[in-house]
Chains A and B, each alone.
Chain A
Amino acid sequence: MRAVEPWVEGPLAAFLDESAARLTLLMTSAGQVLAQHGFTRAFDVMSAAALGAGIMASTDELARLMDAPPFRALAHQGVQHGLFLSGFDTPQGRWIGLVVFGPESSLGLVQLFFQRLVADLAKQAPTEAPSNRVLGSDFEDELNASLRTLFGQ
């Protein structure tokens, strides 16, 4: 498990321990990765983050078309793996969690401990706004720095 922000590590470690999730990704609603567990290649992380953020953006737009509040979570159950995707608010802005779990866990367990993760992150999060916004010329440097942190390279 690796996190760009150190304060994320404790709550995420507790979530991984309790839920037995195989893969977990925490990212901003723009798809910037903040923490990951289980991924071995940077390319996979960036692809999953982009796809997850895209799905959440699509469902947010669907909700807007229906004059409904944004959907909180989305789940897919496959033969071997399940996928849970959920957006949540933190003092640092809106984040997205993507969790892949196997038969040793369940959607109910993942949902249960994801709620705790969200509450723990809200408690641990620094109240000031993020210091660096990843925009324009900083983007590539920030992306490379995040990937180095997330993969220890």
Chain B
Amino acid sequence: MPEFATALDSITRVHGVRGAMLVSVSDGLVVAESSMDGVDGAPVAALTASLAGRLRRTTEAAGRRLPTFIHLRAATGTVLAVPSNDDLLVVTIGAPDINVGLARLEMLHVAERGI
């Protein structure tokens, strides 16, 4: 899956990013990951996919458009997620001082390419 790795590498080059991965929303499983040193991707994938699925159902129930960008901030880190196609999610894990704007641009770019 070199095309996945190349796409994710563009995200991991952003300041503050510790890792990026593609996650199957329905399964909550990691499809591909990049530079996840020291981060166990499986729990992040499962929980982020669950969160994205719940947000999707929430916005549908509220009659709103589906979320295009999810940003979770915690004291020691950040999780960003962008839905790609019907079942894939681009997920980025970063430090609290991550460059969110640039990371978001790169994630949207990966998602738009339809990977």
Contact = CB atoms under 8 A, between A and B. Distances in A.
B26 A111 contact: no
A112 B27 contact: no
Interface in B1-58: 23-24, 26-29, 42-43, 45-47, 49-50, 53
Contacts of A103: 26
Interface residues of A, number: 9
Contacts of B43: 112
Contacts of A108: 23-24, 27-29, 42, 45-46, 49-50
Contacts of B29: 106-108
Contacts of B46: 106, 108-109, 111-112
Nearest to B48: A108
A112 B29 CA distance: 10
Interface in A94-134: 103, 105-109, 111-112
B58 to A, nearest CB: 13
A144 interface: no
Nearest to B46: A108
Contact of A111 (B23, B42, B50): B42
Contacts of A111: 42, 46
Contacts, number: 36
Interface residues of B, number: 14
A106 B42 contact: no
A47 interface: no
Which of B23, B43, B49: most chain A CB closer than 10 A? B43
Which of A103, A106, A109: most chain B CB closer than 10 A? A106
B47 A77 contact: no
Contacts of B49: 106, 108-109
A111 B26 CA distance: 14
Contacts of A107: 27-29
A74 to B, nearest CB: 15
Nearest to A82: B27
B42 to A, nearest CB: 7
Nearest to A112: B46
Contacts of B28: 106-109, 112
Contacts of A105: 50
A109 B45 CA distance: 9
7 contacts: A106-B50, A107-B28, A108-B24, A111-B42, A111-B46, A112-B28, A112-B47
Pairs A-B, 5 closest by C-beta atoms:
A108-B28, A108-B46, A106-B28, A112-B46, A107-B27
